[in-house]
Chains A and B, each alone.
Chain A
Amino acid sequence: MATDTSPDRIEIGQIDWEEYETGRFNFDRKTVGSTLSLLAVGLLWLYDFLFVAERHPVLEQDLILFELSLTPNNVDWLFGLTLVALFWYVVVPLYQNKRMTMYYWSKFKQNTAAIWSLGFLAIIFVMGTVGPLIIGHPEPNWGNPNAPPVFFGGEWAHPFGTHRTGEDILEVTITGAQVSLQVGLIATLFSIILASVVGATAAFSGGWIDEVLMRFVDLLMTFPTFFLIVLLVYIYGGSLFLLIVILAFTGWGGTARLVRSEALQRSEESYIQAAEAAGAGKAYIIRRHILPNVSNTIITAATLIIPVMILTEAVLAFLGFGDPNIWSWGRIISDGRNHLATAWWVATIPGIFLFFTVLSFNFLGDALRDALDPRHET
């Protein structure tokens, strides 16, 4: 069976392993790139925080059609950080492991509803990230209240109609998409990071560390988050930043449990033993084997947490615990619901967007679970 090795081939027997035994520092481009860009976002925030006075844009640029103006608040900075992290840890790996991506894609695309959901979410994503940069904040316009949408007697200037104080509903919807994305992505990112760290630590340390962490998770999962939010809103007033922080720090319990059990299961597989037998250390094994294999679970869990976060924010805004300066979908639905008879579009159009966004994330999560769940793999 052994084929003859051609002369230009490396003779395995002749490798001098002693020369490789010296210590080494070895970073790949991805690690360097992600660290640098995250650091850059951090530095920009620091610059903004220290040197740019409030209410002054960091960047102001007159483009031909519209004016580009950036006045980021803390939530925007966090959102930027989240997007950078998503780029390095989702987009780049997908591109690097093309073969694996194609394999999962072929499984994923069997689900038609999920493909439609993905398309819809792509639109929402562009709307929520690029849209607000172009349109800025919806401004009241007392001269044009309660204009109906186009096709219902309205004009193309306000295709979704206007609010009773004259805000363009399209602009409100776009701002709402941004808020929903911010809540969904930031809170989810931070909660899955917490969940992964706690879950993996518990699984690998075992003993009393495992015990303490998991009992804390039990406590967290029985904690009445809603009352905490009501209390803090009462004390500090409604704030999107505060809401995101609370959601991020209270919503990771279930995922932590998932990660822990998955990590425990993975650590019994024989490829872990193979890596150990090759001389690999614990850190290497966690980084190269455990995390990539648990990531399927994490990604699936994350996709199903996002709609929960979005809905929670909408519910709180609807109930009036939201940020009074920000148009979120929950707030506009709450505003418009009293005028359904006279201006049905105010509550209905953002409501439809909210409904389909949450539905799409759920479809996406289900399809991802079918495609990625390791238990279905051969």
Chain B
Amino acid sequence: MSAETPLLEVRNLKKHYPITKGILKREIGRVRAVDGIDVSVRRGETVGIVGESGCGKSTAATTILQLEKATDGQVLFDGEDVTTFSKRELKRFRRRAQMIFQDPDSSFDPRMSIGESVAEPLYVNGMNDRARRREIVGTLLEKVGLQASDADRYPHEFSGGQKQRIGLARALSVNPDLLVADEPVSALDVSIQAEILSIMQDLQDEFGLGILIISHNLGVIREICDRVGVMYLGQIVEEGPTDEIFTNPQHPYTRALISSIPVPDPHRSRDEVTLSGDVPSPANPPVGCRFHTRCPEIIQPDGYSFEQATWRHLMDYIYRVHDQNIDVESIFEGVVTEQEGYDDIEEVPLEAFETRLREEFEIPPSLADGTAEQTLTDSIELVFAHDLEEASAVLSAEFETVCRQEKPAEIHIEENHRASCHLIEQDTTAVVESPATDD
């Protein structure tokens, strides 16, 4: 199976949106929505891409289908690079690669009957024979569990689940080889989700489709996918067979995602991993490992052995200082409102400020390590004096983690399970190493 060329092979795909300013559209920055991903889908295989909202999953889908022009990278379909296709070749490609959309309500033209919508790919691809189109539409509607006579009805006459099935029928009308499903069930009730997924699987068996499914729902992914790629901020951080990913997740982000799946057993306690902070902006992604600003397992500097939670909280504080993003005034205000005796922020002494700051970042009143404590106190004093730049310098001289300094290489844990994380690099279990893709 693995010897044949995959149906779809995405190599180092990038999609950047320029941020422009003024009438001359001068580029002042770039939103790196998709920043170098590699995915492959074989015939009959279902591959999932999972990640939080805003990580670039949907952009990846539309870029793979050339609905948006890729900034860089290759999309090989049957071994041919789609990004270099002419208009005519592109049309042929689009017939063979179809898409299902997230929102079943807006994915049908309210002014077209269901039959017209399902037949649209046929018509667009040149089938003028009305009777034949109608026959195909009838067959397809029956395949997805509706009736051929439903073709004359309009979208508003159907429920969300029915519309999503019709969406499947539309996608299958031109007999594609690849189906890209962007959050196909996230807008549906849980009971209907399973139904849609099982129809997708049946149709896959019948037509031998390759399916690329994009979702934020790990439950959906686990149910239907053979392989999974975990995406964070435009990059795939871990990729492997679904069972492997769920039983032996390597990347801390994957672990956090998996721990967020609800367990239907109130008595079972589990170690829930919560991620601190927001997803950083893809316009200005963090240096080093992109996940290190939120990673609960962020590596400590040599010679330190904090409790991991303390270290994470400390890093949260350090990043705020580095980014000049710490709201000093609100800490002052906090002291004034919480404690008696101060009427104005001018009166707040350093001690009260420090206590408040530590509380806010959940840093313990005193760190066990003397040097670290000294550095922290120095930096807080500088923050107190509104000298964030100096504070940043003091902090980065003492606390520096490999996660921030270097981009993690992609490591193959097993033959088809790879992840990019410094933690794995530190282990010696790495079998094969491949160079990290850098830009």
A residues in contact (CB < 8 Å) with B: 1-3, 5, 9-10, 12-13, 15, 17, 20-22, 24, 26, 97, 99-100, 103, 269-271, 273-280, 284, 288-289, 292-293, 295, 374, 377-378
- Whether a CB of chain A sits under 8 angstroms from the CB of B111 is yes
Residues on B with C-beta less than 8 A from A20 are: 125-127
Alpha-carbon separation in the docked complex, A289 to B124 (Å): 13
Bound-complex Cα distance A108 to B126 (A): 38
Q: Contact mask B112-130 → A, CB, 8 Å, 1/0?
A: 1100010011001111100
Complex CA gap A271/B124 in Å reads 14
Closest to A5 in B: B139
Question: A12: nearest residue on chain B (CB-CB)?
Answer: B175
Choose among B101, B152, B175, B206 the residue that contacts A2 (Cβ–Cβ < 8 A): B206
Asked if B110 and A377 sit within 8 Å, CB to CB, the answer is yes
Does residue B32 face the partner (Cβ distance < 8 Å to A)? no
Q: Which of A1, A270, A273, A279 is the one whose CB lies under 8 Å from B125?
A: A279
Given A13-B175, A271-B117, A277-B94 in contact, is the A1-B199 Cβ separation under 8 Å?
yes
**A1-B202, A12-B136, A100-B154 are known contacts. Are A276 and B143 too (CB-CB below 8 A)?**
no
Given contacts A9-B135, A270-B106, A293-B111, contact A26 B101 (CB under 8 A): no
In chain B, positions 348-406 with a C-beta closer than 8 Å to chain A are: none
Give the CA-CA distance A360 to B77 in the complex, in Å.
60
A103 and B126 contacting across the interface, CB-CB below 8 Å: no
Q: Say whether B156 faces chain A, with CB atoms less than 8 Å apart.
A: yes
B109 at interface (Cβ–Cβ under 8 A)? yes
Q: How far is the CB of A4 from chain B (nearest CB, A)?
A: 9
Closest A residue to B116 using CB positions: A288
Complex contact A275–B139 (CB within 8 A): no
Contacting pair B95 A100 (CB below 8 A): no
State in angstroms the CA–CA spacing of A292 and B110 once bound together: 9
B203 interfacial by beta-carbon distance below 8 Å: yes
Contact B99 A274 (CB under 8 A): yes
Q: Which of B120, B154, B174, B206 contacts A275 (CB 8 A)?
A: B120
Q: From A274, A288, A293, name the one whose CB has the most chain B CB atoms within 10 angstroms.
A: A274
| Distance in Å: Cβ of A89 to nearest Cβ of chain B | 14
* Choice from A22, A271, A279 contacting B107 with Cβ under 8 Å: A271
23 examples of A-B residue contacts, CB within 8 angstroms: A1-B144, A1-B199, A2-B203, A5-B139, A12-B136, A13-B175, A17-B92, A21-B88, A21-B92, A97-B113, A99-B154, A100-B154, A270-B103, A271-B109, A273-B67, A273-B99, A275-B120, A278-B121, A279-B90, A279-B125, A292-B112, A293-B109, A295-B111
CA–CA, A49 and B301, complex, Å: 93
B172 CB within 8 Å of chain A: yes
CA distance A278 to B170 in the complex (A): 9
Q: Which residues of B contact A278 (CB under 8 A)?
A: 94-95, 98, 120-121, 124-125, 170, 174
Select the residue from A2, A277, A289, A374 with max chain B CB neighbours within 10 A. Answer: A277
- Given A2-B199, A273-B67, CB of A280 within 8 Å of CB of B105: no
A27–B140 CA distance with the chains assembled, in angstroms: 27
CB B210 to nearest CB in A, in angstroms, measures 15
Give bound CA distance, A273 to B63, whole Å. 12
Return chain A residues, CB-CB under 8 Å to B202: 1-2
**Contact indicator A17/B95 (Cβ below 8 Å):** yes
Check B342 for interface membership: any CB of A closer than 8 A: no
**Is B124 touching A284 in the complex (CB atoms < 8 A)?**
yes
Asked if A12 and B109 make an inter-chain contact with CB atoms under 8 angstroms apart, the answer reads no
**Is there contact, CB below 8 Å, between B106 and A269?**
yes
Supposing A1-B198, A2-B202 touch, asked if A273 and B101 sit within 8 A by C-beta, the answer is: yes
Name the interface size band of chain B. 35 or more
Which chain B residues lie closer than 8 Å to A271 at the CB level? 106-109, 117
Q: For B142, what are the chain A residues with a Cβ–Cβ distance below 8 Å?
A: 3, 5
B207 at interface by CB-CB < 8 Å:
yes
Please name all residues of chain B whose beta carbon is closer than 8 Å to the beta carbon of A374 when the two chains form the complex: 110
Complex Cα spacing A97 to B102, Å: 28
The residue of chain A having its C-beta at the shortest distance from the C-beta of B127 within the complex is A20
Chain A CB within 10 A, most for which of B88, B117, B121, B124:
B124
CB pair A26–B111 under 8 Å, yes or no, is: no
Nearest-CB residue, chain B, relative to A275:
B120
Q: Is B69 an interface residue (CB 8 A)?
A: no
Contact partner of B110 among A21, A273, A293, CB < 8 A? A293
Q: Would you call B71 an interface residue if the criterion is a C-beta within 8 Å of the partner chain's C-beta atoms? A: no
**B195 / chain A contacts, CB cutoff of 8 Å:** 1
Residues from chain A with a CB closer than 8 A to the CB of B108 are 271, 274
- Taking CB as reference atom, which chain A residue is nearest B167? A274
| Residues of A contacting B105 in the complex (Cβ-Cβ under 8 angstroms) | 378
- Asked if residues B94 and A279 are in contact (CB atoms below 8 Å), the reply is yes
Chain B positions within 8 Å of A292 at CB level: 109, 111-112
| Contact of B145 with A24 in the complex, beta carbons under 8 Å | no
In the complex, chain B residues whose CB is within 8 Å of the CB of A22: 126
Q: What CA separation (Å) do A100 and B110 show in the bound complex?
A: 10
B65 touches A277 (CB 8 A): yes
B250 close to chain A: CB less than 8 A = no
One of B99, B101, B111 near A100 (C-beta < 8 A)? B111
Measured CB to CB, the closest approach of chain A to B195, in angstroms, equals: 8
Residue contact B172 to A12, C-beta cutoff 8 Å: yes
For the complex, give the distance between the alpha carbons of A76 and B103 in Å: 50
In the complex, whether B132 has a CB less than 8 A from a CB of chain A is: yes
Question: 3 tightest CB-CB pairs across the interface, nearest first?
Answer: A20-B126, A278-B121, A279-B94
Question: What is the CB-to-nearest-CB distance from A292 to chain B, in angstroms, rounded to a whole number?
Answer: 4
